[in-house]
Amino acid sequence: MATAHTLWQSVLGEIELSVSHATFATWFQNTELLDDNEDNVTIAVPNVFAIRQFQIKYNDQIRDVLKKNGLDAQKINYVVSTKGKRTVINRETTRSGSGSAQEEIIQLTPSRAPTPATTINPRYNFDSFIVGSSNDLAYTACRTVAANPGTKYNPLFLYGGVGLGKTHLMQAVGNEIKSRDSNAQILYINTETFVKEFIEMIRFKKGGFSDKYRNVDVLIIDDMQFIAGKEKVQEEFFHTFNALHQSNKQIIISSDKPPKSIPTLTERLRSRFEWGMTIDVQMPDFETRCAIIEAKANFSGVSLSKETVEYLAQNIKTNIRELEGALNQLLAYAEMRGVEPDVSTAEGLIGNVRHSRPQHITSKQIVDRTAKYFQISTIEMTSAKRDKHIVLPRQIAMYLLRSELHLSFPKIAVELGRKDHTTAIHSIEKIEKAIKLDFAIREHVAEIKERLYA
Ligand code: ADP
Ligand code: MG
């Protein structure tokens, strides 16, 4: 048998043909076959982020290509290779239980560019999607659907917050099917557009609406929450759904919440949505965020230090769109100024975004704006009066002095004409609690902040 090194070179050569250039450079380039014992195949990968990608995304493919090259691996271990030191981080993950894992293996042909006829973004493919525990179910379901459109999970319903990769995954299904069968009719549409077209059809008696949606092989419909409260559109979509489903055409839906939480969704549509597979997509954990940053930086031809990657991942926990935004900002800034995109540059940029707001706000502004918002005078607010319509604004002003300016309780009491600082403590605690429970208070506070920083 070939030496481990030549065997691995041959495996890599084959894999290089089946994944994008960026994916290969990010994940495969610096790997090595350390142990080619069939019972205990061990592969060294460059960092801890790569381990999970290999386990979830590339394990089956590697096993397959190894087998073609004469090595029937029973178990594949991935370890981080560091100079002189080697840590076994993880064992092989269990194989996908769907039974279709074999079919899901990326076809070993160079990927063709999708035809421009669809509005699908070719950048959104499975290759460029980083998998972690927050999205691995959604990822696996999408791969399964891409391999078995119309037969496996129909409909596939993905839900989760904004910027977490739903559109990316759904479009990846479209891209994958299209690259395999260029004749496949794939229609991607946002629900808002669907609603708009429906209204136009009614208003201008336009024809062709139903045909357009019912004569496709795959219908990908994004942001279904926009159908809430629109009864006629729901009815039309119900018929579209049935027509497609009956002829085993694949339907993929996304929404910001699960079917049962979309308000005013008719019962029959809700039950249809729950026929197939419903999966949530969550915010990736720290390690996955690191992997996403690494991959995206690599894609831009930049290699960031571990500290920079971790700094970004640590500080941006909202969603991936923002994470991407921060990274792009960092890279653009570094290029423009001719500096390194390192931690201190990142700190400067992100620190700016985070700390610039409160600096130019004074306690007087907070008190004045809050009074104005509630249409009372500052004098009333700082007076001894205990009328209900004055007490709440006063408490909110105290809360804002604390949350925005981090003033001490005695200082806050003084700002609002109180002698006793325990009043400030109680007021702030009360608003903190109310914000969690009372929608109206939450709105007041948010609105006042908006105006403060406008
Ligand atoms: P959603 O539809 O859930 O609001 P998107 O699919 O538009 O989110 O994702 C926002 C951005 O983040 C896109 O540019 C997408 O490519 C990227 N993104 C999200 N999740 C991932 C991931 N796991 N790996 C790589 N990129 C991701
Ligand atoms: Mg989206």
Report the separation in Å between the CA atom of 292 and the middle of ligand 1, taken as the mean of its atom positions. Answer: 10
Ligand 1 atom with minimal separation from the 169 CA: 6
What's the distance, Cα to Cα, between the start and end of the chain in Å?
70
Closest CA to 127 of 298, 325, 309, 305: 298
Determine if ligand 1 sits within 6 Å of the CB of residue 125.
no
Ligand positioned closest to the Cα atom of 281: 1
196 vs 189: CA distance, rounded Å: 11
DSSP structure class, residue 92: P
Distance, in Å, from the CA atom of 217 to the CA atom of 244, rounded to the nearest integer, reads 8
What CATH number should be reported for the domain whose range is 286-353?
1.10.8.60
Percent of the chain with pLDDT over 70: 89
Ligand nearest to the CA of 124: 1
Which CATH code is given to the segment(s) 4-94?
3.30.300.180
Q: State the Rg of the chain over Cα.
A: 28
Q: What would the pLDDT profile of 98-149 be if each residue is shown by its tens digit?
A: 333 222 222 222 233 332 234 788 889 999 999 988 899 999 999 999 999 9
Q: Which CATH superfamily is domain 363-452 in?
A: DnaA protein, C-terminal DNA-binding domain (1.10.1750.10)
**pLDDT tens digits for 222-241?**
999 999 989 999 999 999 99
The pTM (predicted TM-score) of the whole model is 0.64
Establish whether residue 130 lines the binding site of ligand 1, counting it when its CB lies within 6 angstroms of any ligand atom: yes
Residue range 126-280 in CATH 3.40.50.300 = yes
The DSSP code sequence of 335-379 is: HHHT---SHHHHHHHHHHHHHHHHHT--HHHHHHHHHHHTT--HH
Task: Give the ligand 1 atom nearest the CA of 129.
Answer: 24
DSSP 21: H
Distance of CA 237 to the CA centre of its chain: 27
Q: What are the structure tokens assigned to 271, written together?
A: 């039950």
* CB 331 near ligand 1, within 6 Å: no
Residue 368 CA, ligand 2 centroid: distance in Å: 40
In the chain, domain spans:
4-94, 126-280, 286-353, 363-452
Nearest to 170 by CA among 121, 234, 239, 103: 121
pLDDT at residue 86, rounded to an integer = 33
pLDDT at 352: 56
pLDDT digit string, tens, across residues 327-340 = 998 998 888 888 89
**CA-CA-CA-CA dihedral for 126, 128, 129, 132, to nearest 10:** 120
- Report the pLDDT value the prediction gives residue 169, as an integer from 0 to 100: 98
